């Protein structure tokens, strides 16, 4: 069916596009990812040191019973606590940096917020270092505890924002893909092609897209309502439940998309390898590689040869293209040989013989034969038939 030729390349491109990261200007991601790995490693190390200091502190408190924990032990515990807090915030900063779905403006705003907490904690750490008595340590610890409670709430909100930004990006691309699919299918319908199956798949795709948006909105609302430590526990968990539901619908969307691509590509056969290819039918063929190709038929032939020869016979027009290729409109037969060949032909009553190494893509209906046997491009009982056979 001719629809395969019209849609297959476009849909494959859409699927690739849908999986690409957001196109914001960013530093090379490899460097950013390395910074995140370092920040995460630093945090885990600081966390282990904090746990050790806490265990030591609790042990001393238990041993001392009614006596206060030795000053140096208490100071060490407070310092290690602050170190872990700072390392945690640095890790979150790096996590924001590698989130491709956040804009540079959003990243800058979040980073400014995190930096303010880091600066404040660094000042308190210095004060704790210089503390000379237990009372000073207690006052600093109270301030740190209060500030860290606020920071934890902010971290949860930031985490929610990162999650929503990723879903937003996927859904935005999903909307674009749906619109482009609808336009393509409508064009095919106007040309007289049967599009019922494609329309049904698209309708299911849009239904899951709509449901994913609803769940995304519910999750976003929960994340934005977070305003206390208690909220951070309850609302974040509830928001995550909606996120899981949104992701479920997104997976269903892409199942539909993959099915559409499979349907439109079933009329396309791709053959790769070294050897011999014979093909006959109606539709189009693209052959790339090194060797020799003979082709005849009624239609158009486009050839680009870096190093080789081209001989064309028949009545028609010759057109030179800006990319260095030549199109023969209404060709009869042609023989092409050499290296780095690109041959594209479309029309009816096509017959192709090729020898060498490379790749051939056949679209339409007919059959082809390689050293491994004969296959059909398109079986009559299948809307978009086809098979793949490697030589």
Whether 260 and 276 map to the same domain: the answer is no
What confidence score (pLDDT) does residue 379 get?
27
Which domain covers residue 285, as residue numbers? 269-376
CB 282 within 8 A of CB 297: no
Q: Which two tokens stand for residue 54?
A: 């806490």
Whether 218 and 305 map to the same domain: the answer is no
Whether 132 and 104 map to the same domain: the answer is yes
Which one of 224, 245, 265 terminates a domain?
A: 265
Whether 243 and 369 map to the same domain: the answer is no
Question: 10 falls in which pLDDT band (50, 70, 90)?
Answer: very low
What confidence score (pLDDT) does residue 381 get?
24
Q: Is residue 390 part of a domain?
A: no
What confidence score (pLDDT) does residue 61 get?
77
Q: Measured between alpha carbons, how far is 214 from 219 in angstroms, rounded to an integer? A: 9
Average pLDDT over residues 10-20: 36
Q: Is residue 116 part of a domain?
A: yes
Q: Does the structure show a pLDDT above 80 at 220? A: yes
Q: Does the structure show a pLDDT above 90 at 82? A: yes
Number of structural domains found in the chain: 2
Q: Does the structure show a pLDDT above 80 at 96? A: yes
Q: Does the structure show a pLDDT above 60 at 14? A: no
What confidence score (pLDDT) does residue 369 get?
81
Which one of 265, 285, 305 terminates a domain?
A: 265
Whether 85 and 19 map to the same domain: the answer is yes
Question: What whole-number percentage of the chain has pLDDT above 70?
Answer: 82
Q: Quote the pTM value.
A: 0.61
Higher pLDDT: 246 or 273? It is 246
Helix, strand, coil abundance in the chain, percent, nearest 5: 60, 25, 15
Whether 4 and 140 map to the same domain: the answer is yes
58: number of Cβ within 10 Å: 12
Measured between alpha carbons, how far is residue 261 from residues 258, 266, 283, 386 in Å?
A: 5, 9, 19, 13
Whether 281 and 306 map to the same domain: the answer is yes
Q: Is residue 187 part of a domain?
A: yes
Whether 346 and 304 map to the same domain: the answer is yes
Highest mean pLDDT among 101-110, 306-315, 323-332, 369-378: 101-110
Which one of 242, 265, 288 terminates a domain?
A: 265
Average pLDDT over residues 114-142: 93
CB 141 within 8 A of CB 77: no
What confidence score (pLDDT) does residue 65 get?
67
Q: Is residue 391 part of a domain?
A: no
Whether 260 and 320 map to the same domain: the answer is no
Q: Is residue 381 part of a domain?
A: no
Whether 234 and 137 map to the same domain: the answer is yes
User: Going by C-beta distance under 8 Å and a sequence separation of 6 or more, which residues neighbour residue 266?
Assistant: 4, 378, 382, 383, 384, 385, 386
Whether 304 and 184 map to the same domain: the answer is no
Whether 173 and 317 map to the same domain: the answer is no
Q: Is residue 388 part of a domain?
A: no
Q: Measured between alpha carbons, how far is 88 from 358 in angstroms, rounded to an integer? A: 53
Q: Is residue 173 part of a domain?
A: yes
User: What are 155-210's pLDDT values in tens digits?
Assistant: 999 999 999 998 998 899 889 888 888 887 887 777 676 788 889 999 999 999 99
CB 291 within 8 A of CB 326: no
Q: Is residue 382 part of a domain?
A: no
Average pLDDT over residues 9-20: 36
User: What are 224-267's pLDDT values in tens digits?
Assistant: 999 888 888 899 999 999 999 999 999 899 888 878 876 665 54
Three-state DSSP state, 26: coil
User: 198 in the Ramachandran plot: left (φ > 0), alpha (ψ -120 to 50) or beta?
Assistant: alpha
């Amino acid at each position: 069916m001719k629809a395969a030729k019209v849609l297959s390349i476009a849909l494959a491109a859409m699927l690739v596009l849908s999986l690409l990261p957001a196109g914001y200007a960013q530093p090379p991601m490899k460097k950013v990812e390395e910074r995140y790995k370092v920040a995460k490693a630093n945090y885990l190390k600081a966390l282990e040191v904090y746990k050790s200091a806490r265990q030591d502190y609790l042990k001393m408190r238990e041993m001392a019973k009614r006596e206060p924990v030795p000053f140096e032990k208490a100071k060490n515990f407070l310092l290690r606590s602050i170190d872990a807090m700072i390392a945690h915030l640095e890790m979150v900063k790096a996590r924001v940096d590698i989130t491709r779905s956040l804009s540079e403006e959003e990243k800058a705003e979040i980073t400014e917020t995190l930096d303010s907490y880091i600066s404040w904690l660094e000042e308190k750490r210095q004060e704790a270092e210089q503390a000379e008595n237990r009372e000073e340590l207690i006052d600093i610890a109270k301030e740190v505890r209060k500030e860290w409670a606020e920071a934890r709430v902010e971290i949860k909100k930031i985490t929610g924002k990162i999650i929503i930004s990723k879903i937003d990006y996927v859904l935005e691309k999903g909307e674009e893909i749906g619109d482009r699919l609808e336009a393509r299918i409508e064009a095919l319908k106007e040309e007289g092609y049967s599009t019922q199956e494609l329309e049904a798949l698209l309708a299911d795709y849009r239904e899951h897209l709509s449901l994913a948006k609803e769940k995304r909105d519910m999750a976003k609302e929960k994340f934005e309502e977070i305003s206390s430590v208690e909220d951070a526990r309850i609302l974040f968990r509830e928001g995550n439940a909606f996120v899981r539901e949104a992701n479920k619908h997104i997976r269903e969307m892409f199942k539909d998309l993959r099915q559409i691509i499979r349907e439109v590509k079933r009329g396309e056969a791709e053959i790769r390898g070294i050897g011999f290819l014979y093909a006959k039918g109606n539709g189009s063929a693209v052959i790339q590689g090194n060797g020799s190709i003979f082709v005849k038929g009624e239609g158009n032939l486009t050839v680009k040869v870096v190093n080789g020869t081209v001989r064309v016979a028949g009545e028609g027009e010759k057109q030179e293209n800006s990319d260095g290729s030549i199109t023969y409109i209404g060709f009869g037969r042609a023989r092409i040989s050499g290296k780095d060949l690109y041959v594209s032909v479309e029309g009816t009553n096509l017959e192709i013989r090729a020898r060498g190494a490379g790749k051939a893509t056949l679209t339409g209906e007919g059959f082809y034969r390689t050293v491994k046997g004969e296959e059909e491009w398109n079986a009559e009982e299948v809307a978009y038939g086809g098979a793949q056979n490697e030589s």
